[in-house]
């Protein structure tokens, strides 16, 4: 899918009141994200000297918003990323991110003539691509930034490209919602079960992805920034939380929950109702919260 924004240098105008040195307003960054996010010239944030050094060690980090009470150490990397000292760097990082929504521009939606789209499906008039021989059933909603590969099926009542719940607190303790500017990439021969939700990712240069031949049962939720590989079998009522990576050929049983920011390998068996709370390598079995290597025990 084509990029849905211009890669201009990011300006701090939207948070100018929080910048300690307001004469600095234009950065050398073209993307915004966490330190592990993709982006050739990334703007991120840090709330401690340790986090500043971690961010500065990343070759693609061009600028860092740093809390005003952080004492900076010498950075070994050369050239050193731009440092912008701001009040409450974490909060204003997300305010700056939210301000980028106004720069989003989507091309006209493209639907292959061979796709079967039910007349009650609500598909955005811009920012959606649907491939050959896809089926979109009644009551489906598809939001901008969504790509669906050939031969995939979106079952009735599903929502693709929704905003997940990501809440910060402002200076007064009031909830501040994080906008979701990224996309959803669904591979070929995928099936999304009835009344399931696939959330778009947060940052505009990223996407929630579902690999080819993966099958997802009804009433499941694939949250923002999740990366799912090929040929996974995900049963009904599964919740995969934000930014978790799933490998290939896994079985995830009904009602299982996989926590956020995890890395799950390939060929794992996650039994019904299990809670995955830690990283998994390959060929493990999870029952409840217990992890076993010898699948012959069950």
The question of whether 159 is a catalytic residue gets the answer: no
- Do residues 70 and 84 make contact, with C-beta atoms less than 8 angstroms apart? no
Question: Whole-angstrom Cα distance, residue 118 to residue 155?
Answer: 10
Question: Whole-angstrom Cα distance, residue 137 to residue 156?
Answer: 5
Q: Look up tokens 């299982």; give the residue.
A: 256
Strand order in the sheet with 141-142: 122-123, 141-142, 159-162, 197-199, 221-222, 239-240, 257-258, 275-276
Which one of 97, 159, 180, 224 is the catalytic residue?
224
Question: Whole-angstrom Cα distance, residue 52 to residue 113?
Answer: 51
Distances (CA, A) of 216 to 112, 118, 178, 284: 23, 20, 27, 20
Q: Which residues pair with 122 in a beta bridge?
A: 141
- Do residues 145 and 184 make contact, with C-beta atoms less than 8 angstroms apart? yes
Active site residues: 224
């Amino acid at each position: 899918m084509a990029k849905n924004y211009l890669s201009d240098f990011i300006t701090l105008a939207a948070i100018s009141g929080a910048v300690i040195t307001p004469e600095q307003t234009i950065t050398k960054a073209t993307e915004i994200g966490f330190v592990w996010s993709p982006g050739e010239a990334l703007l991120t944030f840090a709330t401690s000297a340790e986090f500043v050094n971690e961010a500065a060690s990343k070759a693609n980090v061009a600028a860092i918003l740093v809390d005003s009470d952080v004492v900076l150490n010498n950075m070994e990397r050369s050239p050193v990323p731009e440092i912008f000292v701001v009040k409450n760097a974490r909060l204003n990082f997300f305010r700056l991110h939210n301000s980028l929504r106004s720069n989003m521009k989507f091309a006209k939606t493209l639907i292959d003539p061979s796709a079967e789209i039910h007349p009650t499906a609500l598909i955005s008039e811009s920012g959606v691509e649907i491939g050959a021989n896809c089926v979109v059933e009644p009551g489906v909603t598809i939001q901008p930034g969504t790509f669906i590969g050939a031969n995939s099926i979106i079952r009735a009542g599903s929502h693709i490209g929704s905003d997940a719940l990501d809440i910060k607190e402002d200076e007064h303790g009031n909830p501040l919602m994080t906008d979701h500017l990224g996309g959803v990439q669904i591979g070929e021969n995928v099936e999304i079960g009835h009344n399931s939700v696939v959330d778009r990712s947060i940052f505009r240069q990223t996407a929630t992805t579902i690999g080819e031949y993966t099958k997802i049962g009804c009433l499941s939720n694939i949250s923002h920034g999740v990366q799912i590989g090929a040929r996974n079998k995900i049963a009904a009522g599964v919740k995969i939380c934000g930014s978790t990576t799933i490998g290939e050929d896994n079985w995830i049983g009904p009602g299982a929950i996989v926590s956020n920011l995890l890395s799950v390998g390939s060929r794992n068996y996650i039994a019904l109702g299990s809670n995955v709370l830690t990283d998994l390598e390959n060929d493990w079995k999870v029952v409840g919260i217990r992890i076993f290597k010898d699948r012959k025990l069950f």
